Amino acid sequence: MDVKIENSWKEILSEEFEKKYFKQLALFLKKEYEEKKIYPPGKYIFNAFKNCSINDLKVVIIGQDPYHGYNQANGLCFSVNNGVKKPPSLINIFKELKSDLNLDIPESGNLERWSKQGILMLNSILTVEKENPGSHKNQGWEQFTDLVIEKIINLKTNIVFILWGAYAQKKGERIDRNKHLVLESAHPSPLSASRGFFNQKHFSKCNEYLNRYNKQKIIW
């Protein structure tokens, strides 16, 4: 199966694309995109991998599934397209960023600039039906993204995994803490941010770790 994904990832994931579950997922998505409004647009499904080859990978941020509102999702977890109103979770991420590193809150919620610096902004589920959160769960995406995380754990060293919320933390249970840095907190959603997301200083802790291993820090 010819999946349109960045070449370094395609090389290590190609066997996965030939498995039965992934072929069934592809058929499911074809029908969904034909009959319903699905986000993100098809060309952005693997956008998280586009600007972040596995060779340049430094940080992994794990989300759940894409934003389900009009024109929000762009294939990067927590990110929205330019000109789109920032969702509450993203506003809280920027508030914590300001508190941690005293950075001004950016006008745009498009986090592509993070992706280009070696951050894999990976949702567990890569597609969603409009206004129907969680609609594409248990169709195969979770198995695929588990495999992506497993490849990173095994092939790389000294990667920073940022796990916000119980869902991401469960997704990252198998990460070797002796080989990688795992930063965990409550989810940035307004429902949970006040219970342990703020004042965790994950952005500065990430850069301190990267510096320790002679990796270029992230310009957040």
End-to-end CA, the chain: 36
Q: Identify the pLDDT of residue 154.
A: 96
| Tokens found for residue 18 | 């030939």
Res. 1: pLDDT tops 80: no
Whole-angstrom Cα distance, residue 78 to residue 90? 6
Q: Identify the pLDDT of residue 78.
A: 98
pLDDT confidence bin for 210, thresholds 50/70/90: very high
Q: Where are the beta strands (DSSP E) in 64-187?
A: 119-123, 128-129, 160-164, 181-185
pLDDT confidence bin for 192, thresholds 50/70/90: very high
- Judging by DSSP bridges, how do beta strands 59-63 and 181-185 pair with one another? unpaired
3-state helix, strand, coil in the chain (%, to 5): 40, 10, 50
Cis peptide upstream of residue 40 (ω within 30 degrees of 0): yes
**Cβ atoms within 10 Å of 149's Cβ, excluding its own:** 19
CB 181, CB 215: distance < 8 Å = no
CB 121, CB 106: distance < 8 Å = no
Whole-angstrom Cα distance, residue 66 to residue 127? 6
80-93 mean pLDDT: 96
Whole-angstrom Cα distance, residue 67 to residue 140? 19
Res. 29: pLDDT tops 80: yes
Q: What residues are annotated to the active site?
A: 65
Q: For 80, what's the count of Cα atoms within 13 Å in the CB-facing half-sphere?
A: 21
Taking only the tens place, the pLDDT of each residue in 45-62 is: 999 999 999 999 999 999
Name residues whose C-beta falls within 8 Å of residue 134's C-beta, 6 or more positions apart in sequence: 65, 125, 128
CB 98, CB 200: distance < 8 Å = no
Q: Identify the pLDDT of residue 67.
A: 96
Q: Identify the pLDDT of residue 2.
A: 80
CB 210, CB 203: distance < 8 Å = no
Q: Identify the pLDDT of residue 95.
A: 97
Whole-angstrom Cα distance, residue 196 to residue 187? 8
pTM of the model: 0.96
